[in-house]
């Protein structure tokens, strides 16, 4: 499990997700919360399918040191992800069609975005990056992974308000592209 408490900044959640993916970890669950003082509490529950952390104690320290550099903005996550091997995809029959939906009613001050998609390494990073790069702030995140199916829920604002219909359209298209790695 990775738990981080830090000052909020654009792309911070995406960076933490990308960090774990770059180390070959499979993110099973994640929760992120921000307070009004700009402090975030992010918790990632992950699996280490190759047991790298168990079998190589020095990797735990390298992960910790890299996390500190990523969280402080001193290391670019895209560079870390560049060298990660591509996984084998499930058969075509087992594929999951991506679905992105917006709900303005569920949150008092934020737009709820629910994404159901085929899980893959870097998916959470790509989704969170798409949200951040569109000028939106992730207020709360709840994610769950079941086999090859990712169910990600984001509460998102833009300039402290719910998303406009136009922003939902643009962001929805970007999130759908992110679901397939494009």
Residue spans of the domains in the chain: they are 2-179
pLDDT of residue 95: 73
Angstrom CA distances, 69 to 61, 111, 119, stand at: 12, 31, 26
pLDDT of residue 35: 84
179: nearest Cα among 132, 118, 135, 121: 118
Length in residues, the chain = 182
pLDDT of residue 107: 85
Rounded Cα–Cα distance for residues 39 and 101 (Å): 28
Rounded Cα–Cα distance for residues 54 and 93 (Å): 34
What number of other Cβ atoms are within 10 A of residue 124's Cβ?
Answer: 27
The residues of the chain scoring below 70 in pLDDT are 83-94, 182
Q: What is the pLDDT of residues 150-170, one digit of tens each?
A: 999 999 999 999 999 999 999
pLDDT of residue 91: 54
pLDDT of residue 34: 83
């Amino acid at each position: 499990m990775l738990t981080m408490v830090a000052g909020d900044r654009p792309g911070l959640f995406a960076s933490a997700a990308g960090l774990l993916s770059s180390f070959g970890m499979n993110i099973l669950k994640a929760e992120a919360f921000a307070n009004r003082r700009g402090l975030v509490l992010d918790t990632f529950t992950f699996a280490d399918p190759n047991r790298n952390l168990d079998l190589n104690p020095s990797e735990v320290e390298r992960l910790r040191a890299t996390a500190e550099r990523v969280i402080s903005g001193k290391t670019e996550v895209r560079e870390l992800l560049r060298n990660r091997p591509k996984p084998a995809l499930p058969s075509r029959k087992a594929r999951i069609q991506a679905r992105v939906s917006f709900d303005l009613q569920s949150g008092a001050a934020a737009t709820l975005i629910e994404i159901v998609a085929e899980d893959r390494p870097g998916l959470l990073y790509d989704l969170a990056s798409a949200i951040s790069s569109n000028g939106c702030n992730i207020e709360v995140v709840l994610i769950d992974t079941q086999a090859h199916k990712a169910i990600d829920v984001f509460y998102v604002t833009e300039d402290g308000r719910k998303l406009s219909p136009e922003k939902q359209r643009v962001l929805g298209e970007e999130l759908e592209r992110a679901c397939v790695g494009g």
